[in-house]
Structure 1
Amino acid sequence: MFIYTNMKETRPKLDPNLDGPNLKRRTSMLNLWWKILVVHIFVFSLATNFHVTSALPMPTNNSSTELIETLIKAIGKAAEFFKDSYKDINVDGLFGLQVGEGQLKESARRLTTTRWLNTSESWRNQLQKIITKMSDVLNLTLDNNLAKDNAYTEEFLRLLKQPFHFERQAQQIGISYNSPPHHIDQNLVYDENFGDNCLARVLGSYIENNRTLPKCTVTKDCLTYMMAPLTSGYYLTHQLLYFIFIQKIGCEGTGLLSQFSERPTIRDLERDFCRRIYQEAQLLTKQKNMDAADQDLFTEQTLLCAPLGFLDFIRTDWMKLVLSMQDPSGCFTDKTTLNIKESARSTSTMRKLMREKFMKGGCLSHKSGLGYGVLTIYLNSLIQDRETNGY
């Protein structure tokens, strides 16, 4: 789910119900890696309790005010675009919009309780207008997707019918610029079908033998797959997404997840995922020209890690980078890969609705949803920073 790639699958699809020698050998190897990974995460989580690198400086009061106003303007422009294009927003894009709605509501609440006298009322009024507009957009978009593909939309309906709020715990990941990159296996490519089945089991929408399994169903195969080491890119972000869903649905401490009641906890796993994701994001932003596919991955990385409270992702230069990606129309486009439209339509490894979808003017549904969500995350973080520091 929420994946955009035109990479070809290099290995056979997995079936969660498959039981055979190949899967057993695969599971055995992953189990070994899993044990090694758990030890690594535990040691790292202990280390980060005692040593945390200093965060990149947040903007000053004046520059923060200017950046907040720029973000509100950009978010409002995107909202206007989505109002006119809701029929073309797929489930991918809808998730990003629900993340954005959750962030905007948190921002508006903070502005209501703060004692700022000058700009806060104006900001609050602007946000309330955007929230109201986007509430209508979200309802229309959800109804439209239910009408187009009821079965698939229903599978993720629990997450799509209301604003998405993260369990935020502010902290730094604790890596320096000179930290060596994590090791990866380039042959590991995310299997969307298998991954979606694992996500659906957690959400309580997976149907097996004509019976809908209860929420928080976590199988050994899924847990092993979602904890595989040496992953990167979209595989890595979807591993994180799996555990975010587990927390969101309230599955912690149940079944196989009871092993995470003590260190390493699920929060430790999330920190380790985001540590690796941050290193990848750094490499992406060091490119002289970040192409559209890397922009999509970068915004997905930020969308998942920043609202969890990992302050390393809240960087002024990254905020300006995402703002520069936005089209004057308010959406996010692909201006660098000319043949992606055909690839998105024909690549067999992408699911029907979870591929990127072109909207009017060359805008992209998935990327626009991600970009919108990230802008709201940045805004909420800046407002919270001002609230915390009292300026």
Structure 2
Amino acid sequence: MAGLYLAALLALAAATASQEELIDDVLGSLSRSASFLEDQHQNINLDGVVGFLILQAELKEAVRTWPHTDPVSWAQRTTAVALVKRLDLCLARAVAALEQNDLKYYREFEPLLTWSFWVIPKEWSFTDPSLVYSSTRKTECYDEQLSDKCMTLLLGSWKNKGTPCIVTKSCRDTMTLFGCPDYSLSHQLLYFMIGTMKGCTSMLKGDLRASRANLTEQSYQKIFCSNMMKSNQESFSDHFSKQTHDIFIENILLCGLSGFSDFYQTDWLHHILSLQDREVGCFGRDGRVISQIIGDELLEQLQPHRRVKRREKTLQDGCSSHMTGVAVSALGGYLNYYLAEQDITKRPLS
């Protein structure tokens, strides 16, 4: 009996040590990413800035709840506090640069440009394989322009001092459409996340479909994340032959932030960490595109009102603005989950 007890203690100690190492790896990666943001705060696009703001919310929550159980844990918390201070300074500059570079677009998404908008999960749950679609569309269900419009109607930023939480039939039908792939699927989830965080109630009011009568906003989030889980599992097992790394990490970010803990898989964490350029600190760096970017910049100078797509911006050093933003916020999610794992009251709900 004593032998079993000792074995259990040793296993627990090994798991704790392993988790401490993972937290060190995450904090080291985030520190390098903070250096990247400090260098590129004037150039990073809206998606990238939002990703760092979500990270800021995650770090502030981590610092607040960090267990002060031993010197290692205390040292890690000290590192997180230092990161928060660095991000406070450079994110203020990055948001100011967004306002200066594209005022109209800044105003449309201004409500998202503060860390306090983003709510960190307090409880955890799992996805459900039985909710996976029997078939998925081969092409995206809608474009970025429609997605942006529906988001601004929720945020109240569709006009100056606009009414928030507006859900048109077009937006509701589009955002509840089943069978959507990739970015359409992740933006359907983001739509419901933003509505929830904004405090919108009755987002599904007016949906008269009998087959959807019992579905709530939370039901849709679970359906979407269950399908995003299947997508990620296939991408990982196929070595990303079907999908990009970008959507894989975006799925982890959004579903993790929605409280689905089964997205925080250790193998997936190691893969995300492997995608970081350790010298520059960004994610998705591709040196082959640097000459192309210089050409694009010349084109923008000739066409100063040409809008850069929000979803992606490749910087001069070949870094992906969008992928860096989703990666750092996904890593912040892992950090909070590992800390919650140390508190049995926050373990996933069965």
TM-score (normalizing by structure 2): 0.83
Task: Give the equivalent residue in structure 2 for 1:271.
Answer: 222
Deviation at 1:63, TM superposition (A): 1.0
Tell me which of 30, 42, 52 is aligned to 1:75: 30
Contact 1:98 1:138 in 2 (8 A): yes
Contact 1:314 1:378 in 2 (8 A): yes
The CA distance in 1 between the partners of 2:80 and 2:206, in whole Å, is 38
Task: Give the equivalent residue in structure 2 for 1:366.
Answer: 322
* Alpha-carbon spacing, 1:338–1:139, altered in 2? closer, same or farther (3 Å): closer
The CA distance in 2 between the partners of 1:265 and 1:203, in whole Å, is 20
Deviation at 1:221, TM superposition (A): 1.0
The answer on 1:183 being equivalent to 2:135 is yes
Task: Give the equivalent residue in structure 1 for 2:190.
Answer: 241
Tell me which of 59, 65, 68 is aligned to 1:104: 59
Task: Give the equivalent residue in structure 1 for 2:128.
Answer: 174
Greater RCO (CA < 8 Å, at least 6 residues apart): 1
The CA distance in 1 between the partners of 2:162 and 2:177, in whole Å, is 24
Tell me which of 114, 123, 141 is aligned to 1:161: 114
Q: Equivalent residue of 2:205, what SS?
A: helix
Q: Cα deviation per residue 1:21-45 (whole Å; 9 max; x = unaligned)?
A: xxxxxxxxxxxxxxxxxxxxxxxxx
List alignment gaps of at least 5 residues for structure 2.
1-13, 300-305
Q: Equivalent residue of 1:173, what SS?
A: coil
The CA distance in 2 between the partners of 1:231 and 1:288, in whole Å, is 22
Task: Give the equivalent residue in structure 2 for 1:205.
Answer: 157
Q: Cα deviation per residue 1:237-283 (whole Å; 9 max; x = unaligned)?
A: 00001100110110123682798998321111100000011101111
Contact 1:325 1:332 in 2 (8 A): yes
The CA distance in 1 between the partners of 2:247 and 2:204, in whole Å, is 32
Deviation at 1:352, TM superposition (A): 2.4
Q: Cα deviation per residue 1:292-323 (whole Å; 9 max; x = unaligned)?
A: x7111111111100121111101010110101
The CA distance in 1 between the partners of 2:183 and 2:123, in whole Å, is 24
The CA distance in 2 between the partners of 1:384 and 1:295, in whole Å, is 27
Q: Equivalent residue of 2:233, what SS?
A: helix
Deviation at 1:339, TM superposition (A): 9.4
The CA distance in 1 between the partners of 2:152 and 2:215, in whole Å, is 25
The CA distance in 1 between the partners of 2:179 and 2:125, in whole Å, is 24
Contact 2:203 2:217 in 1 (8 A): no
The CA distance in 1 between the partners of 2:138 and 2:185, in whole Å, is 12
Q: How do 1:1-391 residues align onto structure 2 when only pairs under 5 Å count?
A: 60-111=15-66, 114-163=67-116, 164-175=118-129, 182-207=134-159, 213-253=162-202, 256=205, 263-288=214-239, 294-328=244-278, 329-335=280-286, 352-388=308-344
The CA distance in 1 between the partners of 2:180 and 2:287, in whole Å, is 26
TM-score (normalizing by structure 1): 0.75
Number of aligned residue pairs: give it. Answer: 320
Contact 1:190 1:234 in 2 (8 A): no
Contact 2:195 2:203 in 1 (8 A): no
Task: Give the equivalent residue in structure 1 for 2:8.
Answer: none
The CA distance in 1 between the partners of 2:314 and 2:20, in whole Å, is 34
List alignment gaps of at least 5 residues for structure 1.
1-58
The CA distance in 2 between the partners of 1:286 and 1:254, in whole Å, is 36
* Alpha-carbon spacing, 1:133–1:181, altered in 2? closer, same or farther (3 Å): same
Deviation at 1:119, TM superposition (A): 1.6
Two-structure CA RMSD over aligned residues (Å)? 2.9
The CA distance in 1 between the partners of 2:92 and 2:207, in whole Å, is 36
Identity %: 27
Deviation at 1:61, TM superposition (A): 1.4
Contact 2:52 2:325 in 1 (8 A): yes
Q: Equivalent residue of 1:98, what SS?
A: helix
Contact 1:168 1:308 in 2 (8 A): no
The CA distance in 2 between the partners of 1:330 and 1:140, in whole Å, is 18
The CA distance in 2 between the partners of 1:153 and 1:246, in whole Å, is 19
